[in-house]
Chains A and B, each alone.
Chain A
Amino acid sequence: DQQVKQNSPSLSVQEGRISILNCDYTNSMFDYFLWYKKYPAEGPTFLISISSIKDKNEDGRFTVFLNKSAKHLSLHIVPSQPGDSAVYFCAAENHGGATNKLIFGTGTLLAVQP
């Protein structure tokens, strides 16, 4: 049973509009969350992260929101650009664990239409 889920396999957005990608997790011990972007035939690349002591982290056009009570995080991209078209993965881990498994979600394919 996957501990990190992205329930939307795909999302299509118009250029210039906001893209909102969602991620849910089941393990309440997770305390650090990351978002990665992946283009075809390439490895995933880091985008943005958030610690559980925060509820928001912003980096340019990318903002991640964390709702611990709902075990939910979201990635907002504003404004969306065609170059943002990629698969987005969220990931989570428990820093307090003896070892640190970095668990990824199922991914959401974002298509930004010109």
Chain B
Amino acid sequence: DAGITQSPRHKVTETGTPVTLRCHQTENHRYMYWYRQDPGHGLRLIHYSYGVKDTDKGEVSDGYSVSRSKTEDFLLTLESATSSQTSVYFCASRDRTMNTEAFFGQGTRLTVV
């Protein structure tokens, strides 16, 4: 399995506070992704990165920003957390896109109260 870890694994935060989730991979993968999983919606792409400092929006990017200053780290920031951002967040990485799979982290359960 690819070495991809997410931190923290669980977090409870208050509405209006900023939150940063970290994804760290040790595989030197070029592509990294952030998803959220919600009942009835499956996995929805928030933001993704196709290289250091190269990022783009996904399907549900409002209220989220990302940064990738190093190949191994992809940070997801909720600028001002809202209750609608309560979810399970998954990070994934892959070496290239042609005929390869993405490897997922264990997820971060975020609760905004």
Contact = CB atoms under 8 A, between A and B. Distances in A.
Contact of B103 (A42, A46, A105, A106): A46
Interface in B96-111: 97-99, 101-107
A9 B40 CA distance: 8
A34 B103 CA distance: 12
Contact of A89 (B40, B43, B58, B99): B43
B58 A101 contact: yes
A99 B50 contact: yes
Interface residues of A, number: 27
Nearest to B41: A106
A100 B31 contact: yes
For chain B, what secondary structure do more than half of its interface residues adopt (helix, strand, loop), or is it mixed? strand
Contacts, number: 68
A100 B50 contact: yes
Nearest to A43: B104
B74 interface: no
Most chain B CB atoms below 10 A, which of A41, A42, A99, A104 = A104
Contact of B40 (A49, A99, A104, A106): A106
A101 B48 contact: yes
Interface in B1-55: 31, 33, 35, 40-45, 48, 50
B62 interface: no
A15 B75 CA distance: 42
Contacts of A106: 40-42
Q: What band does the interface of chain B fall in when counting residues whose beta carbon is under 8 Å from A?
A: 20 to 34
A42 B31 CA distance: 21
B42 to A, nearest CB: 4
A102 interface: yes
Given A89-B43, A100-B31, A107-B42, A43 B99 contact: no
A93 B33 CA distance: 13
Contacts of A105: 42-43
A73 to B, nearest CB: 15
Interface string A71-106: 000000000000000000101010100011111111
